Structure 1
């Protein structure tokens, strides 16, 4: 059996020690991310996933928004300092991909295909998973690390205002990426018998 994809997937890990020692250009990385999302499958080929790719000051602005927004949510200053240290780790990365779902497209398909209307949002989430996994794996193939964060919906309004995001785009995740400054830890798996059935 060929295992090239499997081996690439094994390299796709949550890397938290990220830096800016990146040799690829911003244009090359943006092209890779865009093409990867284009080829990720979506139900009915409805292409509901949207992405905003941030570098430089824009990347830092996002994590400043997160830090400022969380200050009012964290109960103590000590806890906030720990949170801030984590966020500064994301900010130290080279760039961020913000993933969105275009709810106008979801609603359009709900109206056009009433028989499946209850499924289109769930299917858009599957499309998100496909896109995020594909981009994450493509970055790993090129020697870059990444991790996936979910500060939505806390930051939705601030992000919309700061980056001129259309009202119909719903923020789903934030993926910071950059050079791998320290490897991921060991990955543990639950027992196969609890997870899979093979019927012959």
Structure 2
């Protein structure tokens, strides 16, 4: 599959199940390799990932529901809980701060670059999951859930939660995307 075809296949899958089309070890290997090979500025390697599976995945989404005190509909939370797992994306703020001190002229850029690298990692893993026949979506319940996530999974205090990616077997394909006029966003100058 070419990169463009893989990108076309990557969608937000909200109707997922606990039945993965591959062994969960393939998911773990994908996450490890994508984390190792996704580039970042100054080779800072600030991205951190926690893969939550099985009962811990269910506990995560029940805890997220509890944190919001019912303000997020149970059906929505249960649609993520229905999956096989969740990938939690962080960056290590101690790495960022260390580089800010080492390179003060670029200090303001390191948090931006850490987020950019994390976004690339999220995209790489998302596309990789789809290549494995797995559906996923990207969620942003942080910072409301930061404390409960850190406590549940013993995450260091210096980790900054960026996003959550529930994933699972594909139950239903999403509706077709409308074709956009890409020239509204891409300009070519010769």
**Which is further off, 4-13 or 24-33?**
24-33
2:170 to 152, 174, 180: 180
2:139 to 149, 174, 177: 149
2:137 is paired with a residue whose SS is strand
Deviations, residues 107-146 of structure 1 (Å, cap 9, x unaligned):
1111111111110100111001100000000000010000
CA drift of 1:37 comes to 1.5
The match for 1:10 is: 8
**Which is further off, 29-38 or 50-59?**
29-38
The match for 1:115 is: 105
CA drift of 1:187 comes to 1.6
How far apart, CA to CA, are the structure 2 residues paired with 1:170 and 1:196?
32
How far apart, CA to CA, are the structure 1 residues paired with 2:110 and 2:134?
33
Structure 2: gaps (5+ residues): none
- Equivalent residue pairs, number: 190
The match for 1:104 is: 94
Name the Cα RMSD after superposition.
Answer: 1.3
> How do 1:40-59 residues align onto structure 2 when only pairs under 5 Å count?
40-59=38-57
1:22 is paired with a residue whose SS is coil
How far apart, CA to CA, are the structure 1 residues paired with 2:107 and 2:178?
37
How far apart, CA to CA, are the structure 1 residues paired with 2:129 and 2:95?
28
C-alpha spacing 1:108/1:189, structure 2 compared with 1 (3 Å): farther
How far apart, CA to CA, are the structure 2 residues paired with 1:7 and 1:190?
17
1:93 aligns with 2:83: yes
User: Is the 2:21–2:132 contact (alpha carbons within 8 Å) kept by the matching residues of 1?
Assistant: no
1:197 is paired with a residue whose SS is coil
1:71 is paired with a residue whose SS is coil
CA drift of 1:192 comes to 2.5
1:50 is paired with a residue whose SS is strand
CA drift of 1:157 comes to 0.7
User: Is the 2:134–2:167 contact (alpha carbons within 8 Å) kept by the matching residues of 1?
Assistant: yes
How far apart, CA to CA, are the structure 2 residues paired with 1:146 and 1:192?
25
